[in-house]
Amino acid sequence: MENQIEVVDVVVVGGGGAGLAAAVASAVRGMKTVLLEKEPILGGTTRRSVGSFSAAGTRLQRRAGITDSPDDFKEDMVAFAPALASRDNSALRAMLAAEASVTLAWLEDLGVVFVGPFPEPPHRVSRMHNVIPNSQAYIDVLGSAARSFGVKIYLGAQVRSIIEDNGHVTGVRYSRSGGDEIAAVARRGVILASGDFSGNAELRKRYLEPAAASAIPVNSESNGDGFVMTKSLGAAQRNMDMIFGPQLRFPTSPKPGFTERLPKWKWVNRLGGLYMSKAPSWALKPLVTSLLITHMSPSESLFEEGAILVDLDGNLVTGKTPAAGLAMVRDSTGYIVFDDVVAKKFAAFPYFISTAPGIAYAYFADYSRGRPDLVHNGTSLEELGNTIGVPAAQLRMTAENLRQPPFHAMGPVRAMLTVTEGSLAVDTECRVLSEDGTPIEGLYAVGGIGQGGMMLKGHGLHIAWALTSGRIAGESAARREA
């Protein structure tokens, strides 16, 4: 039962990077804005990301003497997955290519600090900009800006339904901390920034192949509620079966890394950005290694060079990819096992455990020092099995081709789903479209739920889209007549 009605200009559903960008963009234009986030903290999938942002025509590119263009950027994005070009959304890709640099400059003006750009083939020039000190900076800066511009932010606010009147979206119904339902009436529009559906087991099973459906979501709170709520409105969906992954991921460190321990002061970020842009590569290694061993996936080249992947019962894991095979076993969890020959090989380039493309590499010794919770050793396979809690006799049989002691295991390692690529259909103003291609008045979608059918393979593209689409939707809603 509704016991309260709140009338505002813009309602934003979701407090990740996309939702915060939308709220700031609308509020700075004088819109009375409310942001509803179901988790107890802001951040969504953005705060769980590496934080890279790819863009063309930026200040940092110009400072590095790089000439770039949106047209080249658009072409290079397609080159990451050329076989999928026919399913891509060319109009949105062109918009992202043209607007990403505008968004990056907007973020810099708000106080976000970037370093770079860094190379990542098949990009023809360096376009990857890395946020300082980590992805939490987006949330801290945008959250602070939102509050300073008067955005009301409600945490623990679960949106229950979308209010619709004769085909026009006029608000949402939500509750806070399980209390009575509140109607938030939006004079200008409702912006959905509720994320993808990677955390919804039913939708994963319906749309994705078994390995992806079984993998562990990086953000379990991305439960697809925006997709469910818009179904009755006739919102069109695009590429719901598309996924890049699953991928192997180590669990988060029980201790925060160096970058997580840095204070979130703007001057510290600027000093860090200056240091990373000027310091030689050897001086950057301690800082970047902290990032690599905290957030990056282990390289599949480990398996090409003799390592094996075993499940929690000591059985060999096989599949189309190591991650796809691991997704189908108990708890989608296992260990990477290898002998000392492999361990010694992964001590220098080109044999690395993880990498941030174009920046740095982390080797076995880096993990041994920085992530001892992930590195396990044994003078025999039986001893190693007992150490990691895997049946020793089964591990001995599975790993019989590993001959050179001591033996090593890295893990646990999990098959994880970072994001799903399926989304609602949107136009270049981020308005949600019905099946006939006409906008559903008053409804916008941004970030994962508003990807519009684009294929965003490559570092920094999902973040660039989340923050760019959020900014554009906030601006579009502010222009719409009440």
Residues 129-158: tens digit of each pLDDT: 999 888 999 999 999 999 999 999 999 999
Share of the chain above pLDDT 90, in %: 83
| Calpha distance 301→193 (Å, rounded) | 36
- Give yes or no for residue 297 having a pLDDT over 90: no
Residues 122-147 as b or e (16 or more Cβ within 10 Å = b): ebebbbbbbbbbbbbbbbbbbbbbbe
- Give yes or no for residue 35 having a pLDDT over 70: yes
3-class secondary structure, 334: strand
Show the tokens assigned to 144.
């602070």
pLDDT at 268 (0 to 100): 53
Domain 247-253+289-417 has what CATH class? alpha beta
State the average pLDDT for the chain: 92
For 390, other C-beta atoms within 10 Å of its C-beta total: 24
Mean per-residue pLDDT for 242-258?
A: 83
DSSP assignments along 199-268, one per residue: T-HHHHHHHS-HHHHHSEES-TT---HHHHHHHTTTB-EE-TT-----EEEPPPPSS--HHHHS---HHH
| Calpha distance 122→389 (Å, rounded) | 42
216-217 and 407-417 strand pairing:
parallel
pLDDT at 253 (0 to 100): 78
- Give yes or no for residue 20 having a pLDDT over 90: yes
CATH number of 2-245+418-479: 3.50.50.60
pLDDT at 257 (0 to 100): 57
Tens-digit pLDDT profile for residues 336-387: 999 999 999 999 999 999 987 656 788 999 999 989 999 999 999 999 999 9
| Calpha distance 465→456 (Å, rounded) | 9
pLDDT at 280 (0 to 100): 57
| Calpha distance 356→300 (Å, rounded) | 15
pLDDT at 183 (0 to 100): 96
Confidence of residue 105 (pLDDT cuts 50, 70, 90): very high
- Give yes or no for residue 395 having a pLDDT over 80: yes
| Calpha distance 96→78 (Å, rounded) | 12
- Give yes or no for residue 264 having a pLDDT over 80: no
pTM of the model: 0.92
Closest C-alpha among 120, 156, 139 to residue 51:
139
- Give yes or no for residue 290 having a pLDDT over 70: no
Structural domain boundaries of the chain? 2-245+418-479, 247-253+289-417
Task: Check if the beta carbon of residue 384 is closer than 8 Å to that of residue 376.
Answer: yes
Residue given tokens 């959020």 in the structure block: 470
pLDDT at 421 (0 to 100): 96
For 63, other C-beta atoms within 10 Å of its C-beta total: 10
| Calpha distance 198→213 (Å, rounded) | 8
- Give yes or no for residue 1 having a pLDDT over 50: no
